Structure 1
Amino acid sequence: MGARMTQIRWGILGASKFAREHMGPAIHAAKGAVLAAVASRTPQSVAPFKDFAAGCRAVMGYDALIADPDIDAIYIPLPHHMHVEWTVKALNAGKHVLAEKPIAMQADDFDRLIAARDASGLLAAEAYMIVHHPQWQRARQMVADGAIGRVIHITGGFSYDNSDDPQNIRNQAATGGGGMRDIGVYVLGSARYVMGADLENISAKIRWESGFDTFASMQGNMGEATYSAYVSTRMHPHQEMVFHGSEGLLRLTAPFNANIFGEARIELHQPNLGLRVEKFPAANHYVNQVEAFGHSIRNGAAYPWTLEQARGTQEAIDTVLAIGTDLT
């Protein structure tokens, strides 16, 4: 990649709250990365980024950022429905791209993303940060090693309540709102990551509000295991994933917002009330994600979450939304 790629110079497309609070600081903290610029229509909105990354430049407009010769990689935290368009534009402009999840609104959109990635020879990926967290890497290894025997059933849940924020993009059908597109990627993608299998024989129930889902429960099969999960944007905050096997049970207590929702822990429940707990207090999956992305760019290493893997999750989301029985 040449000497200039020893430090990957990142630009962020839009001065979003999430970028300001999580991914901006993660890019700044990651080894081999520098937060070089943030694009915004209002330069003053870039000022908070300069508080932790003094050298960060304000760039007027998204097109200007992806055309900037001093930027190597683009991070996209825009509303869901804008991800595909700007990922393709950035790839065509010669930039590597990390776009927030869900990177696409429907599985068919991945055709454009994969074609643009392959034509450019650049790295394009969904910012599915949990696969970069050691608790999930450990959970996958434990299941593969037979720590709980044969996996028989998987359960998951992820909920929060944003009913008091009607202007939120997650409460707008036009911007890809709803629980399945926002957090369905977690209960589905995490289980697919551990099991190495897709969700099949899907059935679902959905509660709709103004054209987007506020509750969805889904069932099916994942490999030889059965699967049951729910997501909601109208329930008390909760998150948990459980892999129940023939010889034990694996429970992740803060699987998606580690050390924000709660302490990142894996509980291995074993026979005769045996319990082994592993904790991950220092891990930051956002920093890990940036460093893994840079490692793939510099060394050609396989990235832990490909567009093809992301597509598998989106296919399940599409199916749930299409076939779900209406609870409204």
Structure 2
Amino acid sequence: MRNTVRWGVLSTANIGLKKVIPGMQQGQQTSVTAIASRDLAKAQEAAAALGIAKVYGSYEELLEDPEIDAIYNPLPNQLHVPWTIKAAEAGKHVLCEKPISLTAAEAETLLAVRARTGVKIGEAFMIRSYPQWLRVRELLDEGRIGELRSIMGCFSYFNVDPANIRNIVESGGGGLMDIGCYMIHASRYAFAQEPDRVVGLVDRDPVMQTDRLTSAMLDFEGGQSIFTCSTQLVPYQRIHFLGTRGRIELEIPFNAPPDRPTRLFIDSGKDVFGGGITTETFPVCDQYTLQGDAFSKAILEDTEVPVSVEDAIGNMAVIEAIFASGASGQWEAPNRFKNQHP
């Protein structure tokens, strides 16, 4: 029995070349053996730079390779579901970049595909395999901060390039789809529930029409989550989990660096000057290495992937509801899917 999964990468997207592939190449159970691009020269250049053995000038050729077990799909958002389906139908397991789709209904089509093909399909929220997030789960479960009642967060960067894919509406660009999805995912993960209703404020760029500033409140049975995300603010990210007896803060919750330790703060609330804060430091590691190995392990051991299709559908349903609220000016309930769970 092999103890590594042979991966192929669809496209030379920057997130793959700069972050995910180098991380996966350090994994114990992942082997990135092929990369494809519609531009063969780009694929050859990427393969040479990253030391990848096989190069293909089309996505179809890669999917036809019998020596590829799994596909990493970092294509533009509107191509996530179509090519995930093609990969699954070719018998390949698929790790698809977030957001997994443009709509919840589109994401739901993957349930039938997964059932028919028998492959594993998951969404690439790398935070779910990272030590500081696993520690958050432990702290919440053990009641370290009492009962979780409130989550507050912010995630932003500044990018006004109209040619950048994050600023193209048709490609699923904008702040909520690109980075607000992390806040939604983190909130659902922490509460281990789906929100009953949401309300959102959406400010769109007058030229590009993407949401450049979105704030939302999610109403869970267990409490509330509130966040702001933006593509046109100073770069910043932070998240707080407030309970009845304490608070957890993640200093760099989402873009955890691969070359520096990360920190988590637990505050007993002893005083407003931080006298009750305990700091936990997590050793240097690459969250993309851990994500790749976690998915590979699920394939090798036939267990559940870190972020399932059902989980992805739940996240997309909340994203859609926030956009709907931004348009209606009212609370909106996320569409419920029968197979959905956090």
TM bracket, shorter-chain basis: over 0.9
2:90 maps to what in 1?
93
**Is the CA contact 1:101–1:127 (under 8 Å) kept in the aligned structure 2?**
yes
Equivalent AA in structure 1 for residue 242 of structure 2: H
| 1:149 partner SS | coil
Deviations 1:35-88 (A, max 9, x none): 1111012233232333332x4211010111111111111111100000000000
State yes or no: 1:186 paired with 2:182: yes
TM-aligned CA deviation for residue 118 of structure 1: 1.1
Tell me the matched-pair count.
322
| 1:286 partner SS | helix
Structure 1 range deviating more: 222-231 or 247-256: 222-231
| 1:324 partner SS | helix
Q: CA RMSD in A?
A: 1.7
Deviations 1:91-128 (A, max 9, x none): 00110001100011110012211111111111111111
Relative to structure 1, is the Cα distance of residues 212 and 271 closer, same or farther in structure 2, using a 3 angstrom cutoff? closer
**Is the CA contact 1:241–1:255 (under 8 Å) kept in the aligned structure 2?**
yes
Structure number having the greater strand percentage: 1
Counterpart CA distance in 2 for 1:76 and 1:270 is: 42
TM-aligned CA deviation for residue 281 of structure 1: 3.4
2:54 maps to what in 1?
57
State yes or no: 1:17 paired with 2:14: yes
Equivalent AA in structure 1 for residue 192 of structure 2: G
State yes or no: 1:276 paired with 2:278: yes
1:166 maps to what in 2?
162
1:306 maps to what in 2?
308
Counterpart CA distance in 2 for 1:261 and 1:188 is: 27
Alignment of 1:228-243 (within 5 A): 228-243=226-241
**Is the CA contact 1:221–1:227 (under 8 Å) kept in the aligned structure 2?**
yes
TM-aligned CA deviation for residue 322 of structure 1: 1.3
| 1:119 partner SS | helix
Deviations 1:101-156 (A, max 9, x none): 00111100122111111111111111110001110110011011111111121101
TM-aligned CA deviation for residue 25 of structure 1: 1.1
| 1:6 partner SS | coil
Counterpart CA distance in 1 for 2:322 and 2:33 is: 40
**Is the CA contact 2:216–2:226 (under 8 Å) kept in the aligned structure 1?**
yes
Counterpart CA distance in 2 for 1:65 and 1:182 is: 27
Relative to structure 1, is the Cα distance of residues 247 and 161 closer, same or farther in structure 2, using a 3 angstrom cutoff? same
TM (norm. structure 2) is 0.90
Gaps of at least 5 residues in structure 2 are 330-342
Aligned with 2:213 (options 212, 215, 238): 215
TM-aligned CA deviation for residue 262 of structure 1: 7.8
State yes or no: 1:143 paired with 2:145: no
Counterpart CA distance in 1 for 2:4 and 2:143 is: 40
**Is the CA contact 1:207–1:326 (under 8 Å) kept in the aligned structure 2?**
no
| 1:84 partner SS | helix
2:42 maps to what in 1?
45
Equivalent AA in structure 1 for residue 210 of structure 2: F
Gaps of at least 5 residues in structure 1 are none
Runs of 4+ in 1 over 4 A off after TM superposition: 260-263
Counterpart CA distance in 2 for 1:94 and 1:253 is: 40
Counterpart CA distance in 1 for 2:29 and 2:248 is: 35
State yes or no: 1:72 paired with 2:74: no
**Is the CA contact 1:98–1:126 (under 8 Å) kept in the aligned structure 2?**
yes
Aligned with 1:251 (options 249, 252, 258): 249
Relative to structure 1, is the Cα distance of residues 279 and 252 closer, same or farther in structure 2, using a 3 angstrom cutoff? same
Equivalent AA in structure 2 for residue 206 of structure 1: V
**Is the CA contact 1:74–1:98 (under 8 Å) kept in the aligned structure 2?**
yes
1:133 maps to what in 2?
130
Counterpart CA distance in 2 for 1:173 and 1:297 is: 34
Equivalent AA in structure 1 for residue 93 of structure 2: H
